[in-house]
Structures are given as C-alpha cells and as structure tokens.
Amino acid sequence: MAINKMSKVTLRLKKYGYWVALALSIGVLSLVLALAATYAGTSNPDDPYVSVDPIEFAVPVSNSTVLKDYSNSALQYSNTLKQWEAHKAIDFAAAEGTDVYAVLDGTITEVSYTYLMGNIVKLDVGNGLIVVYKSLASDVPVEVGDVVKEGDVIGKVGNTAKSEASDGPHLHLETWLNNVNVDPNTYLDLGDK
C-alpha cells in the first residue's frame, strides 16, 4: 500500500513538478522585486558611505595641463620605466613649486614618502572617497589629522616620484572609492585641459 502511494506522489511530481517549481520561482522573484521597489531611493543622509549629491572636485593645480590621463585598460608608455602600463591616475604638469590644492573639504589621513611615488598626501573627503596626491615636493605643509577646506594648499608640485621621473614636475592624482581605484575624471570638470 505504501508503495502505491509513493508511486502516485512520484507521478504527480513528474506531471506537475515543473509548474510548481515555476510558480515558486515567480513568487520569490515577485517578493524580491517588491522589496527592491520598497527600499529603492531610500538613503540615510547620516550614512557616510551614501552620497545624495554628485561630488565635483575643484581643480587641484592652477595653470597646469594634463600630462597623462587616467587609463584603466588602454596602455600608456612610461618613458621612465620603458614599458607599457595602465595609468590609474591623472598627471597634471606644472612648474615645480606650483601650489597643489585640496579638491574638497576633508581630513588628511596620510603623509608619507615612497621611492617610486615620492611624497604622498591622502585626503579623506567622505562618502568612502579618498583623494591621493603623489610626486609632491618635499616641503609638505599638512599633517595627519589636519582638517582642510577646498582650495587650501596641501603641497607643491614636485618631481619626487622616481617611477615617473622623466615626466618632469607634475602632480599624480588618484581617487579611491571604498578602496577601489576609480577615474578622477568622474569628479573633475577639466574642460579643454
């Protein structure tokens, strides 16, 4: 008797199982879409990782030209290293000693030096966004913990990055969003630079 009931259940599953699975899938998908619609567009303005307005940087160096633009996939030739490589920054060429400005209000989180990238300043501007200034001249006027306003001088153009030494004096500017390197052009309006 138990075998007979099992075979009936098995037959019904074989016959209607596809439709039951399809109905369950549609139900789950409907629930997910309803929840997504409910929470879409809601954000907490106090959440430091949620930006409600587009972020636009001030120009970091006056009277400069773009020496090398950001490139995540297209390779650019490095005259210093004699190799093709991605360039995940914008290099602004300017006279050595030209002031370098904070692109937004923020807090200095690092002032350091590395042989390859020279003098470095990291500026946390909130919303998970860090602006990194490299190849600065040696006399960096800011310290870790300093709170700066957009347009404050945070360094001077130098030629301290040994990995880009043959490019001459310039500012190497990177942007990092939630620890991922992103294109600074997203936040800059460089016009015809």
DSSP 52-103: SS---PPPSBTT-EEEE--EEEEEEEETTTTEEEEE-SEEEE--TT-EEE-S
What mean pLDDT comes out for the span 119-139? 97
Residue-wise pLDDT for 78-110, tens only, equals 888 888 888 999 999 999 999 999 999 999 999
Give residue for tokens 């016009």. 191
92: closest CA among 183, 177, 168? Answer: 168
Distances (CA, A) of 97 to 160, 161, 175: 12, 15, 22
Q: What ranges in the chain are assigned the alpha helix state H?
A: 2-39
Q: What is the mean pLDDT of residues 160-172?
A: 93
Cβ 44 vs Cβ 50: under 8 Å = yes
Q: Would you place residue 40 in the very low, low, confident or very high pLDDT band (cuts 50, 70, 90)?
A: low
- CATH of region 65-186, choose from 3.40.640.10, 3.30.565.10, 2.70.70.10, 3.40.50.2300: 2.70.70.10
pLDDT at 4: 63
Where exactly are the structural domains of the chain? Answer: 1-42, 65-186
Whole-number mean pLDDT of the chain?
85
Q: Which of 17-31, 33-47, 58-72 has the lowest mean pLDDT?
A: 33-47
pLDDT at 6 over 90: no
Q: What is the pLDDT of residues 9-30, one digit of tens each?
A: 677 667 777 777 777 788 777 7
Q: Tell whether the model's pLDDT for residue 7 goes beyond 80.
A: no
- The mean-pLDDT minimum among 116-125, 147-156, 181-190 falls in 181-190
Residue 193's pLDDT band, with cuts at 50, 70 and 90, is very low
Instruction: Look at residue 72 in the predicted model and tell me its pLDDT.
Output: 86
Model pTM above 0.75: no
95 versus 55: the higher-pLDDT residue is 95
Q: Is the separation of the CB atoms in 121 and 140 below 8 Å? A: yes
